[in-house]
Structures are given as C-alpha cells and as structure tokens.
Amino acid sequence: MSPSPSRGALSALLATILIWAYSWVVMKQVLAYAGPFHFAALRYLLGAAVLFAALLLSRQSLRPPPLLPTLLIGLCQTTAFQGLEQLALLNGGAGHVALLAYTMPFWAVLLAWLLLGDRPTARHWLGVALAAVGLVCIIEPWRDLGSTLSTTLAIAGGVAWAAGTVLSKRMFRQHAPSVLSLTAWQMLLGGMALGLLALAVPERVIDWNWAFIGGLTYSVLLASSLAWWLWSIVLQRLPTTVASVSSLGVPIVSVLLAWLILHEQPSAMELVGIVFVLLGLLAVSGVGARRRPGMP
C-alpha cells in the first residue's frame, strides 16, 4: 500500500468516526417524531439520491456493480443493521445501543477469516483482545443495560454490519467497483427494503417539525451519504481487521462528546475502557511495531 492511499484512508476513517459519534444522539432524538422504519427508509433513500447526484456531477457511470453481491451488502449493511438499531433505540439509550452495535469489529474479524481467508496475526488478536476488554469496561454489562430485547437487537445489528463489511471487502477484491457507485447502489437497494418494511409495519405519523427536519438533514447528508461513502473508502484501502477495529473510535468519541457538550462525566470504568480500546487500536494498526525486511 502506497503512503498516499493509506493517509487518505486514515483521514476518511477519522471523519467517519466524528460524524457517526454524534449521529447516535441525533437518531435517538428524531424517534420522538417518527417511527423507526419510516425514519430509516427516508434517511437512506434520500441519502442514495444524494449519492446518485454525486455520480452524475462527477460524470461517473450509473451502471450498477454486480447486482447480487450489491443487494446482499445493502440488505446487511443498510436494511438489517439500520432497522435493528432503530428498533433497539426505541427501548434503549443511545449510548448503550451505540456501544452494543460496535461489537461489530469482533464479528467482522471472524467473518473475514471464514469468508476471505484473512487470518488475523498474533498482533491482531492482541489488539482485538485489548479492545474487547475496553468495550466491556465501557458497556459495564454487570449494570442494567435496559430491556433484553433492545440489547439483543443492538448486538444483532452489529453482526449484520459485520457481514456487510466483509461482503464489501470481498466485492472490492473481486470486482473493483467504484467506491461511490457501490455505496449509492447498496444504499438504494437497502433503503428500498426499509421502505417496504415501513409500509408493512404500522407506525406513528411523522411529525414534520424543525427538530425532525434538522435531524433528518444531518442523517441524510452527513451520517448516511458522506460517512458511508468514506467508510467504503476505508474498507477499500485498509485491511478488514484494521478498519473494523478502528471503528471502535466511534463509541470513544461519543463518550468524550457527551463529556464536553452534555457535561456527562465518564465513570472511572469508562476511562479505563477507553485506555484499553486505544491500546487495542495501536496494536492492530502496528504503530510502534518494528518491521522486519520484506514485511508489508
């Protein structure tokens, strides 16, 4: 990997972490004005429209990538992940749901090993173990996590996201599609499935007030269109293990933002957890590791 693509992927990863860290708060707030499936369908169908407009403006082809794998990515990464997390937010706090969703990296490491043959190195296993200890400290499962249903839905959403992550990586390896094109098409197909669910499941009528419109705008333009496009760049250019474990920066930033903006003082256990996750990220990324000649 040349230095330039690597630096670009790390910049995309940092931007994604910052955008998604705040989006969990936004998603919890907008559910006061709309049902989970209606909001998720609106968010992703409008987000796909923004990405297709970007394809037109950049004069890229509107021809879809290979349809079946794109559909599978959309169903996992958009329909299942977002639908399950929106349902979990109905009865669970935004912070805990977000943290449970970010069990994704651990499922992704296992799925990448099974489906892609990406066997983790000893350094990767060390990083995953440290990050797992940190995540447990932050979640504090020995405390009340809310309803069992909310917890189960949030973790299931993390598994679905992991599957979408690994399928995206396989797509880039086998077919090398345009990042923007793959993001747009999987979002459109996944959003259409969410739309069908929204039509089939009775939900409250959307309250079109300024708070809802503001939350929807943030979710469409930043958390969906921009952030998922950036995430696809990260998956294209970085190893699956590094990309997925690095996403644990989102719950860390969420805790820090709550401290700075909402004055929610992190507990001592949360601070210990943040330290462990950071150590895990350093181990996975190989920062400070001595490389032998010929090693990538």
CA distance 213 to 28: 14
**Stronger pLDDT, 5 or 117, i.e. the higher one:** 117
Indicate the helix (H) or strand (E) that contains 73. helix 67-73
CB-count burial class (<10 Å; 0-12, 13-18, 19+) for 4: exposed
CA distance 212 to 207: 7
Instruction: Report yes or no: 24 and 93 within 8 Å, Cβ to Cβ.
Output: no
Max CA separation in the chain (angstroms): 62
pLDDT digits (tens, 9 = 90+) for 105-140: 888 888 888 888 888 788 878 888 888 888 788 777
In this predicted structure, what is the pLDDT of residue 96? Answer: 67
- CB-hemisphere CA count at 13 Å for 249? 19
Supply the DSSP symbol for 120: P
**Stronger pLDDT, 6 or 65, i.e. the higher one:** 65
pLDDT digits (tens, 9 = 90+) for 56-86: 999 999 999 999 999 999 999 999 998 898 8
